[in-house]
Amino acid sequence: MNEEEKSKSPGRAIDRRDFLQGLAGVPVIGAFALAALKQESFRRASRARQAAATAGGEAPAELRIALLGVGAQGSVLLNSMLKIPGLRFQAVCDIWTEYNLKRAGNLLKKYGHEAALYHDYREMLDKEKGLDAVVIATPDFWHADHTIACLQAGLHVYCEKEMSNTLEGARRMVQAARESGKLLQIGHQRRSNPRYIFCRDTLLQELQLIGRPVTAFGQWNRSAAPDLGWPKKYEIPADQLRRYGYDSMAQFCNWRWYKKLGGGPIVDLGSHQIDIFSWFLGANPKSVQASGGTDYYDKSTHEWYDTVLATYEYETPAGLVRAHYKTQTTNGSLGYFEQFMGDQGTLVISESAGMGLVYREKANAPSWDEWVRKGYLTEPKLIEVKAESESDSLDVRETISPDEHRIALQFNDPYHKPHLENFFSAVRGKGKLNCPAEVGYESAVAVLKVNEAVEARKTLDFSPEEFKI
């Protein structure tokens, strides 16, 4: 009797065979449950890793802080610091008393901080007692004097980048930090960004994800914009401006374009990303060539170059890497990011919009499935060729190399918050600075030479000694 007849014999008692074959699905359900649970635990592990990266800590003892310079960048830092527990804002100093200083004072009042307001930093350092640290966000040409005065007053300093508009100023800052024994953190905030740390420490160094690095690229594009203006009723008196180094209110508001005050876009923007070149590649550059100029704006009010293209050579432990950097302030398309290419993959990362992508070179790279399972990367997305027109779009949904993965780690805090937290932790004696004076100096050496190379119109070499103090 075959199966079908057996099963079709009604009225028969349920025998052992019915029972066994009736439950044929049970082992399959068992296997399914095991597989699904395993899969789910991988997913949870990956999520937990992401959540851990954004978790906060407990409230520490209060630090007393003064702010020196609360313009645009100072406000960005202040807004980040207001999200950090354990800070007491005791004093604020800015020469634009009717505008910047009032605005910062009012904001602090709203958050319950009664800060004393100053227009002269020497007066502030003289009168304010019990301060722990100063956060400096003044124009670049003031950084050296402000930082050194604060260090000498026995305070720890967080100073915005660029460390100084001159190497001589930057050098004096390093020396003052060493002599005072106080901490000096330079504001290259990507060095504390968990996404950047993850890319460098885990993806590039531990996993060697991109293989042998060969080239790097970075850019920061900004739309053309008129000069910054100011409300006429809040104008700073001319003698006050001159006392602090400015010829006019226009120059005060647009200091970044003037040679004696700032370093231009390559320093304001490029410095962040050229710092990432050195940090990720584990080397200082050995040469730079550059082309740049004020091509678009009025040269009399835009002394520094509105467009700069620079190419560095890095002698890295893995071999020579060529790195190209571009900044233009006349078109904002494609924004800003840094890109590292090796023989096994490409890393594209930006501070903005949480962008973090890696592309696997299918021809040369080992499987990355393990890194997906461990929650380092998202599942690969097949890159599709988009149809040029409707008529040819039927056949173009081909998969071509490479696979695109996103970096699974997310970071949703204000960009500067982790770097400031790193500074305050170090002030409390917990942990080391992520960008101490010496590192900020190395970065300044690499960046400031671009402007020299533009002027020299030839390749300039760095000697290893240039980066040391």
**Which range binds other proteins by CB under 8 A, 14-22, 128-136, 167-175, 429-437?**
14-22
Tell me if 296 contacts other proteins by CB under 8 A: no
Q: How far apart are CA 1 and CA 5, in angstroms?
A: 6
The distance of closest approach from Cβ of residue 412 to other proteins in the complex, given in angstroms and rounded to an integer, is 17
Q: How far apart are CA 237 and CA 241, in angstroms?
A: 6
Measured CA to CA in angstroms, residue 227 lies from 81, 230, 250, 333, 384 at distances of 29, 10, 8, 20, 42
Tell me if 384 contacts other proteins by CB under 8 A: yes
| # chain residues binding other proteins, by CB under 8 A | 33
Return the SS3 of 409.
Answer: coil
Tell the burial category of 99 from Cβ atoms under 10 Å away from its Cβ (0-12, 13-18, 19+): middle
Return the SS3 of 167.
Answer: helix
Report the residue number, 59 or 394, with the smaller CB distance to other proteins: 394
Q: Which residue has the tokens 């990507």?
A: 190
Tell me if 10 contacts other proteins by CB under 8 A: yes
**Which range binds other proteins by CB under 8 A, 1-9, 184-192, 290-298, 432-440?**
1-9
Report the residue number, 21 or 459, with the smaller CB distance to other proteins: 21
The distance of closest approach from Cβ of residue 357 to other proteins in the complex, given in angstroms and rounded to an integer, is 16
**Which range binds other proteins by CB under 8 A, 24-32, 136-144, 145-153, 166-174?**
24-32
The distance of closest approach from Cβ of residue 384 to other proteins in the complex, given in angstroms and rounded to an integer, is 7
Q: How far apart are CA 161 and CA 139, in angstroms?
A: 10
Cβ count within 10 A of residue 250: 15
**Which range binds other proteins by CB under 8 A, 28-36, 256-264, 350-358, 458-466?**
28-36
Report the residue number, 19 or 233, with the smaller CB distance to other proteins: 19
Q: How far apart are CA 5 and CA 414, in angstroms?
A: 73
Report the residue number, 12 or 243, with the smaller CB distance to other proteins: 12
**Comparing C-alpha atoms, which of 311, 294, 315 is closest to residue 303?**
294
Residues 389-408 that bind other proteins (CB under 8 A): 390, 393-395, 397
Tell me if 38 contacts other proteins by CB under 8 A: no
**Comparing C-alpha atoms, which of 277, 63, 62, 78 is closest to residue 160?**
78
Return the SS3 of 84.
Answer: coil
**Which range binds other proteins by CB under 8 A, 32-40, 68-76, 100-108, 247-255?**
32-40
Could you give the string, one character per residue 326-365, with x where binding to other proteins holds by CB under 8 A and - elsewhere? ----------------------------------------
**Comparing C-alpha atoms, which of 377, 367, 379 is closest to residue 347?**
377
The answer to whether the CB of 124 falls within 8 A of the CB of 65 is no
**Which range binds other proteins by CB under 8 A, 54-62, 80-88, 182-190, 388-396?**
388-396
What single DSSP character describes residue 386? P
Torsion of CA 17, 22, 28, 33, to 10 degrees: -130
Tell me if 34 contacts other proteins by CB under 8 A: no
Tell me if 16 contacts other proteins by CB under 8 A: no
Report the residue number, 127 or 381, with the smaller CB distance to other proteins: 381
Tell me if 23 contacts other proteins by CB under 8 A: yes
Tell me if 259 contacts other proteins by CB under 8 A: no
Burial 270-295 (b: 16+ CB within 10 A, else e): bbbbbbbbbbbbebbbeebbbebebe
Among 320, 385, 387, 456, interactor with other proteins by CB under 8 A = 387
Among 26, 52, 238, 400, interactor with other proteins by CB under 8 A = 26
Interface positions with other proteins (CB under 8 A): 2-4, 7-8, 10-14, 18-19, 21-26, 28-29, 32, 36, 40, 43, 381-382, 384, 387, 390, 393-395, 397
